[in-house]
Structure 1
Amino acid sequence: MRFTVTGEQRKNPFLRTVIYLFLAYIFLHWISNGAMFFLDMTLTYDSVVHYYLGNPEEFREPRSYAGMLEVAHFHLFAMGILVLTLVHLMLFAPLSDRAKQLGVWTPFAFAVANEAAGWLVRFAAEGFAYLKLVTFIGLELSLLWVMGVTLWSMITQQRGGYRISTSNGG
């Protein structure tokens, strides 16, 4: 990542190619994430509730603890690495410190909350289905924004001025 700090990615076509390919790959992941969501649910309260709590009319069983734990185990690790990598690249874009803080915190918060929301629907209260919908949409939009900002920064080849802020975000 030192290449993005020094601006060498603007001079090195191989580095730019790696970043472009990574962004394209993650965009495909973004599309498949949405497709997987819509394979089982829609953006409605009832579809989320039926997915997690089951639906006797559709002969759908409630999600099992073991099944949810297996999905969470993979998602928590994979999404953590994905978001870490994406926001790290975004830090080198020419954005204000406030925009960068939002770009870091928002995808991480939505990723964790999205995973937690399914557990809350299944084991706490079905009303958390609204949280699941909001966090899914928020995660998808925040990832798209981070990818877009990074791509914009690469295409325009603007130097981001990576810096370490000494303030406490105020």
Structure 2
Amino acid sequence: MRFFISADIKRNKALYYAVLAFLIFSLLFWIASWISFYGKYGLSYESLFKYYFMDPEFPQKISIAQISEDIHINLFLHGLMLLTLLSIFNLFGQNQNFKLFIILSSNLFALFYIGADLLIFFLEWPILLWLKLFSFIVYQLLLLFVILYNLYCLVLKDARPPKTKALRYFTFLFSLFFLLFLLSNFLNFFSKMGFGIEGIKDYYLGNPSLFIKPKTFQGVFKVFYPHLLTMALFSLLLTHLLPFAGVKKKKAIILGFSVFLFSFLDNLSSLLILFNPYFAYLKLLSFWAFQLTAIFLSLYVLVFSLRKEEYPAMIV
């Protein structure tokens, strides 16, 4: 992302209006987040308790598959949004300590908000419902401050070159979001299919003895279609951090291409299984290849962000 290390937003009119439009849409997303949270959980302890533990109309406990799906989506969505919003914020923040406080606290409460689902599911402590509600509210307030501050500074202030220390925090936190996203991918995959070939076949082709209905082409395509974009975007974001970690150009190209290829095959194989069950092997192999490659790159970027030397991408 150009504004990740650039302070020339106002001089580049196309970039200026693109960032302005993004901030306006972010504000709309912020409003929609409250509506979405209220519609799903409510805004009280009682409504949260009903969602997670007891609903008279649907007395069955929420499944780990649903929990993992929510975490999987939210880690990607909020990780991407935080990287973008805080990258802009980093160009305008005046006080370095305050800037770092906002960066760290917003990421921390986002992780509490997203991860509270797992804690509630496994520990079954009703008191953790307060963590879910409190972390959501604090995270949303921090997010609103960042959006409004960015809008104010974009219109009335001049951007400044970002500090290397803040960029290290960005790289560390975003690679951490990537790692958690990939771990949630394991949980999501396992909760639906397990890690065996037969489990994958049963999930897509059905199994009458286990009362599992086969997936329809329309149903699988509904998942395949958005993942074409989201996984390509994930691969782009991960590989675009490699120059900051000192990865040489040739290696970055090979590793980046591998992430794109494995993610595409993982996605495509879901459709192909409907036509031939042997594509379940491709599904399992491509899933593991993508996961391990992406985890390795995320860990590499995360470890490099903890080092003292200058970012190669910052050196002119």
**Correspondence for 1:121 among 273, 279, 283:** 273
Aligned residues: 158
List alignment gaps of at least 5 residues for structure 2: 7-160
Q: Does 1:85 align with 2:237?
A: yes
- Provide the residue aligned with 2:191 in structure 1: 39
Please give the per-residue CA displacement for 1:29-71, whole angstroms capped at 9, x wherever unaligned: 1111110100011222111111111001111111112211211
**Rounded Cα–Cα distance in structure 2 between residues aligned with 1:21 and 1:97:** 24
Amino acid at match of 2:279: F
- Measured on the aligned residues, the alpha-carbon RMSD in Å equals 2.1
Distance 1:80 1:38 in 2: 22
- The 1:13/1:92 distance shift into structure 2, 3 A limit, reads closer
State the 1:160 CA deviation: 5.9
Give the Cα–Cα distance (whole angstroms) in 1 for the partners of residues 252 and 218 of structure 2.
37
Structure 1, 126-135 or 149-158: larger mean CA deviation? 149-158
Q: Quick one: which of 290, 301, 305 aligns to 1:139?
A: 290
Scaled by the length of structure 2, what TM-score is found?
0.46
Please give the residue correspondences for 1:89-100 in structure 2 after superposition, counting only pairs within 5 Å: 89-100=241-252
In the TM superposition, what are the counterparts of 1:21-170 in structure 2 within 5 Å? 21-123=173-275, 125-159=276-310, 161=312
Larger radius of gyration: 2
**Cα distance in 2 for residues equivalent to 1:31 and 1:4:** 29
Letter in 2 for 1:131: L
Q: Distance in 2 between matches of 1:93 and 1:130?
A: 34
1:98 counterpart letter in structure 2: K
Return the offset for 1:15: 2.3
Which residues of structure 1 form unaligned runs of 5+? 163-170
Segments of 4+ moved more than 3 angstroms: 1-5, 157-162
Q: Provide the C-alpha distance between the structure 1 equivalents of 2:244 and 2:165, rounded to a whole number of angstroms.
A: 17
Name the aligned partner's letter for residue 224 of structure 2: A
Deviations 1:112-154, CA, capped at 9 Å, x for gaps: 000111111112x111111011001001001101101211221
* TM-score, length of structure 1 as denominator length: 0.82
Fraction of identical pairs, as percent: 29
- Asked if the contact 2:272–2:279 (Cα under 8 Å) also holds between the matched residues in 1, the reply is yes
Residues 76 and 112 of structure 1 are in contact (CA less than 8 Å); yes or no, is this contact kept in structure 2?
yes
Report whether the alignment pairs 1:17 with 2:169: yes
Cα displacement string for residues 87-107 of structure 1 (whole angstroms, at most 9, x for unaligned residues): 000133223333212221111
